[in-house]
Amino acid sequence: MRLVLTALVFLAGLFDLFLAISFLTGPEQAATGFGIAATGISGISTIRADFTSFFGVAAFCMMWGAWRRNADLLLVPALLFGVSFVGRAINLAVTGAYPGWPVPMTIEAGHVILMLAAWRMLPHHKLADIAG
């Protein structure tokens, strides 16, 4: 089971890495898939920076945590996707449903569940072990 969870975390990390690269190299096209339209150069810059960092940091922590069998690194993407899920839930309550709303929430919830399940299964390392 540990091997399966590790592989799933690594694959999810690859998926997020490709999303980060797509936001870095083609922010306007990538943003369109998320229902976002940039207005002007500053909007494109914001999309490129924020979405690349969100998915890139999540991907790095997932892939490095899976590779090194370090469960503590998986808490970072769990928190990132958990906060995103809560934000979408609040938006759903405040403004109501929109077409396709379950898809991103399912992906975010899936990320959180996967990261927490792997966090429970994989070993935890002390900070000194990570640095050295």
Residue 62 lies in a domain: yes
Residue 6 lies in a domain: yes
Residue 131 lies in a domain: no
pTM: 0.89
Mapping DSSP to helix (H, G, I), strand (E, B) and coil, where does residue 68 land?
Answer: helix
Is 90 exceeded by the pLDDT of residue 27? yes
Domain span at residue 29 reads: 2-126
Residue 101 lies in a domain: yes
Is 60 exceeded by the pLDDT of residue 7? yes
Mean pLDDT of 4-21: 97
pLDDT at 2: 87
The residue assigned the tokens 């090194």 is: 68
pLDDT at 128: 46
- The whole-chain average pLDDT of the chain stands at 93
Q: What is the pLDDT of residues 64-95, one digit of tens each?
A: 999 998 999 999 999 999 999 999 999 999 99
Residue 49 lies in a domain: yes
State the total domains in the chain.
1
Per cent of the chain over pLDDT 90 is 84
pLDDT at 131: 53
The residue assigned the tokens 């998926």 is: 15
Residue 60 lies in a domain: yes
Residue 132 lies in a domain: no
pLDDT at 127: 54
Q: How far is CA 53 from CA 89, 95, 118, in A?
A: 22, 27, 23
